[in-house]
Amino acid sequence: MPLTVTDQITLADWELTEQFVRSSGPGGQNVNKVSTAVELRFEAARSPNLPEPVKNRLRRLAGRRWTKEGAVVIQVEETRSQARNREIARERLVELILKATEKPKRRIKTKPTKGSVERRIKAKKERGEVKKLRGRVD
């Protein structure tokens, strides 16, 4: 079933791959038998649904989770339930893509006010005087 991120972005089945592996941590005898941890792989670089600027921001946001092949890998082993770990992984992927869709605001350069410049220079002069007085006494 396709995963809907926004009205414009829907991820197809072929873009998502889930692999279940054995989880570390508590679980008793169950931990050695059942593969509850999920590894969700999203082929972001090949995705036709993501615009190029969103892909670039996603690459930066994903960090170490971005592979050389251009996939985002999300690993979850929080709960003992395979289904719940799968849901958590999908939620995290949606959050990451939503964060990548937000355009960062451009910084507008501002000038310091005349008063703040004068106060800074006055403070520098006072500090210089203090340091000058530390010199050798004749």
Q: Is the Cβ–Cβ distance between 76 and 89 less than 8 Å? A: yes
pTM exceeding 0.75:
no
Domain-wise residue ranges, the chain? 3-101
Please, what CATH class does the domain formed by 3-101 belong to?
A: alpha beta
Distance CA 18, CA 82 (A): 11
At 75, give phi and psi (nearest 5°).
Answer: -110, 135
Listed in sequence order, the residues at least 6 apart from 28 whose beta carbon sits closer than 8 Å to its beta carbon are none
Digitized pLDDT (tens) for each residue of the chain, 138 residues in all: 667 777 777 777 788 888 888 877 666 666 677 788 888 898 888 888 888 888 888 888 888 888 898 889 998 888 888 889 889 998 999 898 889 888 889 999 999 999 999 999 999 999 999 998 897 877
At 74, give phi and psi (nearest 5°).
Answer: -120, 125
